[in-house]
Amino acid sequence: MNSKNITIEFVNEAVIEIKEGQSILEASLSADIPHYHTCGGRAECSTCRILVLEGMENLSSINDLENILRQKKNFPEDVRLACQTKVLSGNVKVRRIIRDEEDLRLYVTGETAIAHQSLGDEKELALFFLDIRNFTPFIESNLPFDVIHVMRRLTVLFNSVINSFNGKIIETPGDGLYAVFGVDDDVDKSIFNAYESAKKILSDLGILNERYFEKFFNFKVEVGIGIHAGKVLIGSKGSDQSSSTMVMGFPVVIAARLESATKELNNNLVVSEYFYKKLNIDSSIPKKKIKLKGVSTKIEVRLLGQEFSYNKKST
């Protein structure tokens, strides 16, 4: 290696020089970065780990000591031990993962310690958002018990269908839900399952409306569904919540905005063009190009559902 110093960037902290033969941990401590190293840099703990954002190819190979801990803790590929890693050439950009006492408790000790110590895995999933439409009038005109009862019936329906198509509900905000398909399937299968799940929910909801909600509550429940697909990060919340999975990334934003767009488009199932092309279904359905809130460019979509009944009544 060239004897001149090499620069390494600790994101949002400092840009430092790392000398020949120094580990990343040694270099950061020399630069007064408060880098955790509980075991003293002997690869007997994992507190000095770093997330490599750029320049992985410029780092030293994983040695035997690091490999033992990596296997035990199930580190993702872009996480390295700073105490065992050297920069051989070029530029490297990293981020310390454990930066304060709360991080230490979260990743290493305490009741909420994350079992697999992994930040997450990237995978292409189908992203599914659903929201109940025009539900406020029902809440206003019915007893709280009836509202809760109806929500329970709907929750059972949604959960049953999504689970039957190997989907996973990530969140249930307000009177809607956010689910993903493909955690255990390939992307083509997950896209098919997400579409079939949407169709099944709309079909079963139609039956439930006719036989139950309209008959006993004089109300028709309608939902808007938005679906997209893309690469996202799947990780763990690291707590004892009933749903411990997080799925995050820009494609999630697109899917959520598509669900919101069902209102203005007056269609209960709106999917992105990317999702639609992977379905390989009737191409005669026309495309629309729309602007989504918070998204800089317009996106092409397909309307695969029906108009909302409450809009028909008001026209």
| Mean pLDDT, residues 127-136 taken together | 95
Give the burial class of 290: count Cβ atoms within 10 A of its Cβ; 0-12 exposed, 13-18 middle, 19 or more buried.
middle
110 vs 13, residue with greater confidence: 13
Of 1-5, 47-51, 59-63, 72-76, give the lowest mean pLDDT range.
1-5
pLDDT at 112 exceeding the cut of 60: no
Give me the residue label for tokens 């092409």. 300
Indicate the domain borders of the chain. 6-107, 121-314
Query: Any idea what DSSP says for residue 302?
Result: E
The residue length of the chain stands at 315
pLDDT grade for 253, boundaries at 50, 70 and 90:
very high
| Mean pLDDT, residues 203-220 taken together | 95
pLDDT, the chain, mean = 88
Residue 294 backbone class (left: φ over 0; alpha: ψ -120 to 50; beta: rest)? left
Q: Decide: pTM greater than 0.75.
A: no
CATH superfamily of 121-314: Nucleotide cyclase, GGDEF domain (3.30.70.1230)
Q: Tokens in use for 205?
A: 């909801």
| Mean pLDDT, residues 117-133 taken together | 83
Of 42-46, 108-112, 164-168, give the lowest mean pLDDT range.
108-112
- Alpha-carbon distance of 37 to 98, in angstroms, equals 10
What pLDDT does 151 receive?
A: 94
| Mean pLDDT, residues 226-231 taken together | 96
What pLDDT does 26 receive?
A: 94
Q: How is domain 6-107 classified at the architecture level of CATH?
A: Roll (3.10)
pLDDT digits (tens, 9 = 90+) for 22-33: 999 999 999 999
Whose CA is closest to 198, among 307, 305, 311? 305
- Tell me the C-alpha to C-alpha distance, in Å, between residue 311 and each of 13, 133, 140, 265, 305: 54, 11, 19, 11, 14
Whose CA is closest to 55, among 33, 87, 85? 87
Give me the residue label for tokens 């411990």. 244
What pLDDT does 89 receive?
A: 87
- Alpha-carbon distance of 296 to 293, in angstroms, equals 8
> What angle, rounded to 10 degrees, do the helices at 144-164 and 187-208 form?
140
